[in-house]
Amino acid sequence: MSDLKRTPLRDFHAARGGRLVDFAGWEMPVQYRSILEEHKAVRRSAGLFDVSHMGEVDVKGPQALDFLERLVTNEVARLHPGKVLYTPMCAEDGGTLDDLLVYLRAPGDYLLCINAGNIAADLAWMTRQAEGFDVTVTDRSADHALLAIQGPASAAIVQSLTGSKLGLLTNYTFCEGTVAGVHCLISRTGYTGEDGFELYHAPADAVALAEALLAAGAPHGLELAGLGARDSLRLEAGFPLHGHELSPSISPLSAGLGWTVKLAKSRPCLAHAALAREKTEGSARRVVFFRTGDRRIVRADTPVRGADGATVGRVLSGTLSPLLNEAIGSALIDASAVDGGLRVDIRGTDIGLRTVRPPFVPLRRG
Amino acid sequence: MSNIPADLHYAKSHEWLRLAGDGTAVVGITDYAQSSLGDITFVQLPKVGAILAAGATFGVVESVKAASDLYLPAAGVVLEVNAALDAAPEILNRDPYGEAWMLKLKLDGSASAELLDPAAYASHLG
């Protein structure tokens, strides 16, 4: 795996039994001990994830807000310093190029966190869209490592290592502070549906910070968790993963993320016309979530058939819910067929899909 | 690294065969197989009474990562399947040579000459 990019924690993972795989060109731990056990540890107490492969982008300048409002579908003007916004980023046709977090540090000074697999394409797109705006767009990915600590015990663990008052840090806010002596941007965000933090820090500090969090978390039941558990946790919570529930051919409206599309904002995004039309006419296809009552995993790209047997869509994501102990997933379905019976064939067995509104399990944070 | 008990025969496709000496045998998958698959979530086995050829697909083992066919190391009639795997497939990750056995077979002839002894299976794993 010599061509793969490595985070500063690559050897840390290998030394702790991490099974390293190629993820979007990065050598990342998919699991340490067991995906199912790591998943349960996050729901029960806490898990520690290395997500340093994620990209970071600085957007600065007098017209940074105007530029970002044009770039993304959610309303960036709602941010105040210390607040975080989740938003899709769409092309003119409404297709989703990426989904990202926007951090407002100070007026005209934003940090974006983008998906690892999209870093190069996003930067090219953002740079092109920035023409005509008084703004600078800078790739800062190499300057950041990122650890996510997720689960109900996260706050107690991180609080034991920082003087920052985490009780004041509400969902989707952030502050700057030190954790175990390491300077961090402390963000109360995550991708599991649990309470938790994402800690942005300098790559040189990553091993020391990870070791301090593991040591402080051990009495609470904190476990290292890999990308396998990250995926099953986000699917159980009903969160989209770009390339699955969101993609250049799936708009945020199709994906059921209408709350992230602010068509009435004063500075419309560049996908405004396409998304306004889709909202009026209705999406031709919709992302639905399903459970099956069976343990056989319904894997991505499995065709989905409607009541009359015709193919009406395909599976986007599928896994076994470790808490429900049954297969769950998402599918992209022709809008006219969503309310009919949906079925899949798995190795000759006909299985019905029961559509549900996520999250699949009760979450402390939806 | 992998646990390879000395008293078993092995297929290159990572199933094991334990000869009982009375014309019957027990079949399962190896420690290497369970470790490679990761968390096992579903096991599909044949019905009792099924008559299967050596090398035939006798079922499927599925993990969070992937589904894999299971290949029978020797021809025979299925005498018994391990019903515990239906409710608790995760025992395959814990005890692949014991509690998580898959089939009991009445052998039809001798076991295939292509089966590996423990040393040969160890070198097959590399």
Comparing CB atoms, the residue among B41, B44, B93 nearest residue A297 is B41
Radius of gyration of chain B (CA): 13
Whole-angstrom distance, CA of residue A141 vs CA of residue A116: 9
Q: CB distance B67–A347 less than 8 Å?
A: yes
Q: CB-CB: which of A31, A37, A320 is closest to B41?
A: A320
Least confidently predicted of A82-86, B53-57, B80-84, B108-112: B108-112
Determine, yes or no, domain membership for B116. Answer: no
- The superfamily (CATH) of domain A284-356 is Aminomethyltransferase beta-barrel domains (2.40.30.110)
Question: How far off is chain B from A317, nearest CA to CA, in Å?
Answer: 12
For the cut 60, the answer to whether the pLDDT of residue A28 exceeds it is yes
Q: And the tokens for A353?
A: 């899909």
What's the token pair of residue A269? 């995004």
How many Cβ atoms sit within 10 Å of the Cβ of residue A68?
A: 29
Statement: residue A337 has pLDDT above 80: yes
Complex ipTM tops 0.85: yes
Q: What is the CATH number of domain A10-52+144-235?
A: 3.30.1360.120
> Residue B35's CB: how many other CB atoms inside 10 A?
14
Contact criterion met (CB below 8 Å) for A275 and A261: yes
Mean pLDDT of all residues in A331-338: 97
Q: How far is Cα A229 from Cα A150, in angstroms, rounded to an integer?
A: 11
Asked whether residue B3 is domain-assigned, the answer is no
Distance CA A252, CA A43 (A): 27
Q: What share of chain A has pLDDT > 70, as a percent?
A: 99
pLDDT at A342: 98
Which residues of chain A are at the B interface, by a Cβ-Cβ cutoff of 8 Å?
19, 31, 34-37, 228, 232, 295-297, 299, 319-320, 347
pLDDT single digits (tens) A214-235: 999 999 999 999 999 999 999 9
Q: Which residues in B lie closer than 8 A to residue A320 (C-beta atoms)? A: 41-42, 64
Residue A106's pLDDT band (cuts 50, 70, 90): very high
Model confidence band, residue B111 (pLDDT cutoffs 50, 70, 90): low
Residue A248, classed as helix, strand or coil, is coil
pLDDT, mean of residues B24-32: 97
Set of chain B residues whose Cβ sits within 8 Å of the Cβ of A319: 64
In a domain, B101, yes or no: yes
Parse chain A into domains and list their residue ranges. 10-52+144-235, 55-142, 284-356
Tell me the residue range of the domain where B16 lies.
9-110
Distance CA A5, CA B17 (A): 42
Look at strands B103-107 and B76-81 and give their pairing: antiparallel
Is B54 inside any structural domain?
yes
Q: Which of B39, B45, B90 to mutate to test the interface with A (most CBs of A within 10 A)?
A: B39
Give the span between the Cα atoms of A265 and A271, in whole angstroms.
Answer: 13
Which numeric CATH code is attached to A55-142? Answer: 3.30.70.1400
**Percentage of chain A exceeding pLDDT 90:** 98
Average pLDDT, integer, range A257-280: 98
3-state secondary structure B13-47: CCEEEEECCCCEEEEEECHHHHHHHCCEEEEECCC
B interface test, pick of A299, A320, A325, A351 with most B CB neighbours within 10 Å: A320
Beta A311-321 vs A326-334: how paired, if at all? antiparallel
Torsion, CA A296, CA A300, CA A303, CA A305, rounded to 10:
60
Q: Binning pLDDT at 50, 70 and 90, where does residue A163 land?
A: very high
Mean pLDDT calculated for residue range B45-60: 96
State percent of chain B over pLDDT 70. 96
Task: Please tell me if residue B90 touches chain A, with a CB cutoff of 8 Å.
Answer: yes
pLDDT of amino acid A366: 42
- B window 42-81, beta carbon within 8 A of A: 42, 44, 60, 62, 64-65, 67
**Total domains in the fold of chain B:** 1
Q: Select from B39, B67, B89 the Cβ nearest to the Cβ of A34.
A: B39
**What CATH number should be reported for the domain holding residue B89?**
2.40.50.100
Whether the pLDDT of residue B86 is over 60: the answer is yes
Question: What band does A118 get if pLDDT is binned at 50, 70 and 90?
Answer: very high
All residues of chain A having their beta carbon less than 8 Å from the beta carbon of residue B36 are none
pLDDT on residue A231: 98
Q: Under an 8 A CB cutoff, do B38 and A347 touch?
A: no
- Model confidence at A1, pLDDT cuts 50, 70, 90, reads low
pLDDT band at B123 (very low <50, low <70, confident <90, very high): very high
Query: CA A145, CA A176: separation in Å to the nearest integer?
Result: 15
Per the domain annotation, does B2 fall within a domain? no
How confident is the prediction for chain A on average, in pLDDT?
Answer: 97
Q: What mean pLDDT, rounded, does chain B reach? A: 95
Residue A77: its H or E element: none
Check pLDDT > 80 for residue B121. yes
A364 vs B78, higher pLDDT: B78
What are the distances in angstroms from CA A91 to CA A53, A111, A170, A255, B123?
24, 21, 32, 15, 53
The answer to whether the Cβ–Cβ distance between A36 and B42 falls below 8 Å is no
What pLDDT is attached to residue A214? 98
Residue B104 lies in a domain: yes
User: Helix-strand-coil percent breakdown of chain A, rounded to 5?
Assistant: 25, 35, 40
Min distance B69 CA to chain A CA atoms (Å): 11
Q: Pairing between strand B67-71 and B76-81?
A: unpaired
Distance CA A319, CA B65 (A): 9
Compute the half-sphere exposure of residue B67: CA atoms within 13 Å on the CB side of its CA.
17
Residues of chain B found within 8 Å of residue A299, distances taken between Cβ atoms: 67
